[in-house]
Chains A and B, each alone.
Chain A
Amino acid sequence: MNLDFSFVNWGVVSSFIAKGFFYSIQLTLVAMVGGIVVGTLLALMRLSGKKWLVMPAAFYVNTLRSIPLVMVILWFFLLIPLLTGIRMGAEASAIITFTVFEAAYYSEIMRAGIQSVPKGQVYAGYAVGMTYPQCMQLVVLPQAFRNMLPVLLTQTIILFQDTSLVYAIGAYDLFHGFDTVAKNFGRPVESYLLAAAVYFVMCFSLSMLVRQLQKRIQIIR
């Protein structure tokens, strides 16, 4: 069969694709920032050595990491209105879900990053009279962030790919845009191929950037 992409014009892109594209980007960025903030807190809890902090954080992280993301998306879509009484659209629900879900993954990266800073530096911080928050903020976290920046960005690329799973609750993301075009124009083959190409170009170029970055910021020990 012959491929025919002639139905794709600016009108199609602006009315179907753009909306989904911007939502996917928004979802990725919000979940990334929120996930890193919550993830850092979770990582600090797990490394605190205090049982009442370690246990809940470990439970949170291990539970979310063992459930398929699609199920988590469905769970949140079901539970948020039941528990809070607030009716919420699929788009808003997905933003909360992804932030909560990604925090579990980011926290594992943060934990590894924090542990990659040699213990001697922490002791050195205490020795010059720093408190725990000061030591974390001024000595450990800046280096930890630098060490794990490439991994954090790689996780963000995975996150961007995973945003397509909001398909399960019908939120209008980038893939939903292509899916709508596929159905409206009766051209599934071309639409899904285009969708794959768009995701590939975005993710591949981002991962090339991460690779460059990785080479540049390696700490010389």
Chain B
Amino acid sequence: MGSTWDWQIFLQDTGGGQSYLQWMLSAWGWTLSVALLGLIVALLVGALMGILRTVPSKGLQFLGNAWTELFRNVPLLVQIFLWYHVIPTLFLSLRAIPSFVLVVFALGFFTSARIAEQVKAGINALPKGQRYAGLAMGLTLPQTYRYVILPMAFRIVIPPITSESMNIIKNSSVAFAVSIAELTMFAMQAGEETSRPIEMYLAVTVLYFVSAFAINRIAALIERKLQVPGMGVGK
């Protein structure tokens, strides 16, 4: 390749009063905030839609199914473009919303379809008798979900949701397309500005590794804390 490493490039000034290292760390912050806020949206909406897919009402089932299919069958990049270019034009009141928030919702709704799929599978993995037992005891349907089904189902879905949480870190990279200043955007811009793309890409790739690994460890911790005594979850 003919060129040698030049890591001091990270200490060089970008021209805006900060070094490339500072720029990269702030980009890491953007990646983590987009991903984590998106994950919160995804968990809330995904859990709701997943539950709707398992209730007796046909109308609610349809809503849950339609939501899942809609957000699962359009590429994330296209969804981000829809949030960024289409929705503010169609709904003028949303024009003032910063693009960061739009991307959080795009990523969150995209991931919610996958979470809904896992939640539905988790609920269906429980023996049907548990639901009937709850109803037979005189619990209402919401109570049956709250006290009987969900406490078990949510524990079952922790491992697949862990891998979705790692996916959302990776998927947040697609936000580069609408110029969110996250890691991939940084890699592209800084690589070009400094003509040192390899160093920039390597550093960014390492940060993605670190982020995904951290999520993985946190999830493993949560899984252990929430485990029902005497029941190995996911075994």
Partner among A78, A161, A167, A192 whose Cβ is within 8 Å of the Cβ of B86: A192
Known contacts A66-B208, A71-B204, A189-B86; is A167 also within 8 Å of B177 by CB?
A: yes
| B77 adjacent to A68 (CB under 8 Å) | no
Which chain A residues border B79 with CB–CB below 8 Å? 196
* A207 CA to B68 CA, complexed, in Å: 12
Which chain B residues border A66 with CB–CB below 8 Å? 166, 170, 208-209, 212-213
Counted as pairs of residues, one from A and one from B, with CB atoms less than 8 Å apart, the total is 103
* A74 CA to B73 CA, complexed, in Å: 25
Judge if A220 is at the interface, Cβ distance under 8 Å. Answer: no
Partner among B69, B169, B204 whose Cβ is within 8 Å of the Cβ of A204: B69
Which chain B residues border A161 with CB–CB below 8 Å? 73-76
What is the total number of residues of chain A having a CB less than 8 Å from a CB of chain B?
A: 33
| B174 adjacent to A196 (CB under 8 Å) | no
Interface residues of A in 1-36 (CB under 8 A from B): 1
Partner among A1, A78, A83, A175 whose Cβ is within 8 Å of the Cβ of B77: A175
* A167 CA to B1 CA, complexed, in Å: 27
CB distance from B93 to the nearest CB of A (A): 13
Residue on A nearest B171 in the bound complex, by CB: A68
| A175 adjacent to B75 (CB under 8 Å) | yes
Judge if A69 is at the interface, Cβ distance under 8 Å. Answer: yes
* A187 CA to B90 CA, complexed, in Å: 13
Known contacts A66-B212, A199-B75; is A71 also within 8 Å of B86 by CB?
A: no
By a beta-carbon cutoff of 8 Å, the part of chain A in contact with chain B is 1, 66-71, 74-75, 78, 82-83, 157, 161-162, 164-165, 167-168, 175, 179, 182, 188-189, 192-193, 195-196, 199-200, 203-204, 207
